[in-house]
Every structure is written in structure tokens, then in C-alpha cells.
Amino acid sequence: MINFNYETDFILESEEEVTKWVIETISAEGFKLEEVNYVFCDDDYLHKLNVEFLKHDTLTDIISFDYSIGKIIQGDVFISVERVKENAIDFGVEFIDELHRVIIHGILHYCGYKDKTAEEAKTMRNKENFYLAQRINN
């Protein structure tokens, strides 16, 4: 099950399509969905979580809490809509494209992908691009 929660005025207009896409991604990676909660929020909300739980006093676009067990995906994904909007401008992409990248980024972490090293980040970006293309083609 995928749940969408809102701690800001933003509402994702394509919940059903995103749900289908995320489930297909999880399946393609050889995992099974139990439950993922997406929480869309603002910078202040996510900053507080970042400081409290990760001890990082910085702004970020996403924080994911992974409760997966083996191949069963469970977790909470917090996304700052403000940060995603700013990043989209900085990267010269459409907001919805950057939002989809962040949405799938959290799922890829649950599937075992990391992004701490340059090589891991490259692999993560390639996977993001692959699944973004799947979304566009569906």
C-alpha cells in the first residue's frame, strides 16, 4: 500500500499513476511492497526531522526512514516540496520531473542502492533515469 500525506498546501495530482509506477519499480527490482508513506512538507518541517533524527543541520529535499525487512519494502518518505521546487530551478528541469526523481530516489534506497560515493551516486542516478523513462513511457 502507498499512502500520500500532506503537511503543506501541495497536493500530488497523479497519486494513482505514481502508485502504479512505484509498485512496478519495486517489483522490477525484485522486491514486494508492504507499505510506503509519502509525506509532502515544507523546508521547516523536513529541517526539524533532519536535525532531530539525523543530526544534520541542513536543508534537504528528501529523508527516508527504511523499515524494510528482507525483500519486503516498508518506509516513510518525507519530501520538501519547497526544496524540490528550488532544485528544479537550479537543475533547469520541470518541477514534476524533479519531484518524480525524488519520489523514486527514496524507493531505490529501500531497494539497497546507496549514493555516498561517486560510483554509488552514478549507479543511483542511472537507476533514477531508467525508472523515470519507464514512467514517461507508460
Q: Is 115 annotated as a binding residue?
A: yes
Q: Is 57 annotated as a binding residue?
A: no
Helices (H), the chain: 15-28, 43-54, 81-91, 95-110, 118-137
Q: Is 40 helix (H, G, I), strand (E, B) or coil?
A: strand
- Taking CA 62 as the corner, what is the angle to CA 57 and CA 64, rounded to the nearest 5 degrees? 100
Question: 18-38 burial, b if ≥16 CB within 10 A, otherwise e?
Answer: bbebbbebbeebebebeebeb
Q: Is 100 annotated as a binding residue?
A: no
Annotated binding site for Zn(2+): 105, 109, 115
Binding residue positions: 105, 109, 115
